[in-house]
Amino acid sequence: MESDELFINMGPVHPSTHGVARFKLRMDGESIKECTPVIGYLHRGTEKIGEMKTYLQFIPYTDRLDYIAAFPNNYAYVKAVEELAGIEVPLRAEYIRVLTMELNRIVNHIVSIGSLLMDLGAATMIMWGFRERENALQLFEMLCGARMTFNYIKPGGVREDIPDGFIPKLNEFIKDMEKRIVDYEQLINGNEIFHMRMKNIGVISGKDAVNYGWTGPTLRGSGVDYDLRKYEPYSIYPDLDFKVCVRKEGDSYARFIVRMDEMKESLHILRQVVDNMPATKLISMAEYGISPMTGTPTAVSTYFPRIFTPPAGEVYSRIEAPKGELGFYVVSDGTTKPYRVKIRSPSFCNLTAIPSLVKGLKIGDLIAAFGTIDVVLGDVDR
């Protein structure tokens, strides 16, 4: 039976597009016949700005890519620059970096799960989640004075050493969070309607997911055991004990569960980081003085000059950000500014699969599937 098609423009201003994504939908009644994502409504030209700023000036802009989890963005760029310039980082600084990144992973997953549930119509989870997120943000504030956009990780270390009283508060947070995750599971996972909405929706096989360039929890939800922290280790991850959370089903529910498990793993990592952190304090910028940079910085320094010139060359460096593989391709021509900065953002590549993922599903499933892919439009559009 033929029926009239309905063309719907969903977004860019729509409550469940996580910002400014837009979907052009061809609908047959309630079913989606074709979904065409239109992106670029938050395209801010970050890559061009990267060419116009010095290496250090560009770090704040990386904060604003994936603004829910900014530390990994900082780190990914700084890691690329460090590899390019061959800079050694003191061990304590690496521990602090991992600490911030794992905290940020928890924050990211809280927001991700919360907004997924909000899109499904249950607003309570995001309210609860933001309560715990606020505690984490207070920790970030102690570290660097900012809540969301940090500019904290610098080449050669971090901007400041962790302040006094940070570790006890962190321990408190970890202890609290353990209980809260159980709460979340009871609230969400014990709900039959949630299972009805999530299971067997937006199924993608591991092979297809790889073909689409999926990474991160979305890929691990499809049964591909892959985590850059484990299989292309960087920083201090080789010394840490954690497991990669994988689910076989490849549906929305699997992706949700992977995020839940990763939060627990991150807590586990945080505890190890706190226990094993080297005691030697980092020398801060003020103590180091403002002498100009000559050669590589000393091993216990967080100091790094404002202007420096790495040797000419190019590097592609990737890390496991909360949303997936975040890569920076930095080309240096031996001047104070990068010649080209290319950002490989996880959200952008994960969003590619949306049209095939939601074909034939209902409009409510589009929202559920989109929510489990967990994109941030700043990261997609750059």
Partner 1 sequence: MEKGGIRVDPVTIDTTKIKHTKKQPVTALEKLNDTGLISTLLAAREREGMILFSTIDQVFNWARLSSLWPVTSGLACCAIEMMAVAMAHHDIARFGMEIFRASPRQADLMFVAGTVTKRMAPRVKQLYEMMPDPKWVIAVGGCASTGGPYHESYSVLKGVDLIIPVDVYIPGCPPRPEAWIYGVIQLREKIKNQGYGAKWGLNK
Partner 2 sequence: MNSAEELKNLLPGSVISTGLQLNKPMAVVKKEDLVKAAGKAKEIGFDHLSVITGIDYRDHFEVIYNFFSYSKKQNLAIKVNLDHDKPEVDSLTSLWKGADWLERETFDLVGIKFIGHPNLIRILLPDGWNGHPLRKDYDMNTEQFVTIGDNGDDVVSPDGTNLLRRK
Partner 3 sequence: MLFLAMWTGDIMFENTYELIVFILNFIGIYDPIYNVFEMFGLEYLLRIIIVLAEIAALFVFILLTVMFLTWMERKVVAMVQARYGPMVTGPRGLLQPVMDGVKLIGKEDIIPAKADRWVFTLAPFLIFIPALLVFIPLPFGESLIISDLNVGLLYIIAISAISPIAILMAGWASNNKYSLMGAIRAVAQDISYTIPLALAAISVVLLTGSLSTVDIVTAQSGTWFGFIPKWFIFLQPLGFILFLIASIAEMGRIPFDFQESESELVAGFFTEYSGMKFAMFFLAEYAHLFSVSAIVVTLFLGGWSVPFLSSIPATFAVLIPIISLAAFVIKTYVIIFFAMWLRDTVPRMRIDQLLNIGWKIMIPLALLNLLATAILLTAGVF
Q: Does 72 sit near partner 1 (CB under 8 A)?
A: no
Measured between alpha carbons, how far is residue 106 from residues 168, 263, 286, 315, 368 in Å? 18, 5, 32, 29, 20
Q: In the bound complex, what is the minimum distance in angstroms from residue 9's beta carbon to partner 3?
A: 8
Q: Does 353 sit near partner 2 (CB under 8 A)?
A: yes
Nearer to partner 1, 76 or 107 (CB): 107
Pairwise CA distance, residues 197 & 360, whole Å: 15
Q: In the bound complex, what is the minimum distance in angstroms from residue 205's beta carbon to partner 3?
A: 23
| Residue from 52, 123, 167, 182 binding partner 3 (CB under 8 A) | 123
Nearer to partner 2, 239 or 314 (CB): 314
* Closest alpha carbon to 79 in 297, 327, 378, 363: 327
Q: In the bound complex, what is the minimum distance in angstroms from residue 37's beta carbon to partner 2?
A: 9
Q: Among partner 1, partner 2, partner 3, none, what binds residue 378 when CB lies within 5 to 8 Å by partner kind?
A: partner 1
Q: In the bound complex, what is the minimum distance in angstroms from residue 242's beta carbon to partner 3?
A: 30
Q: Does 183 sit near partner 1 (CB under 8 A)?
A: no
| Residue from 182, 196, 307, 312 binding partner 3 (CB under 8 A) | 196
Pairwise CA distance, residues 152 & 32, whole Å: 44
Residue-wise burial string across 8-39, b where 16 or more C-beta atoms lie within 10 A, e elsewhere: eebbbeeebbbbbbbbebebeeeebeebebeb
- Rounded CA Rg of the chain: 21
Nearer to partner 1, 156 or 346 (CB): 346
Nearer to partner 1, 49 or 87 (CB): 49
Q: Does 204 sit near partner 2 (CB under 8 A)?
A: no
Nearer to partner 1, 98 or 120 (CB): 120
Q: Does 196 sit near partner 1 (CB under 8 A)?
A: no
Handedness of CA 90, 92, 98, 104 (dihedral sign): negative
Q: Hey, is 236 helix, strand or coil?
A: coil
| Residue from 15, 165, 289, 292 binding partner 3 (CB under 8 A) | 15
Query: Which run of H or E residues covers position 318?
Result: strand 313-321
Pairwise CA distance, residues 363 & 369, whole Å: 10
Reply yes or no: is the peptide bond before residue 297 cis, omega within 30 of 0.
no
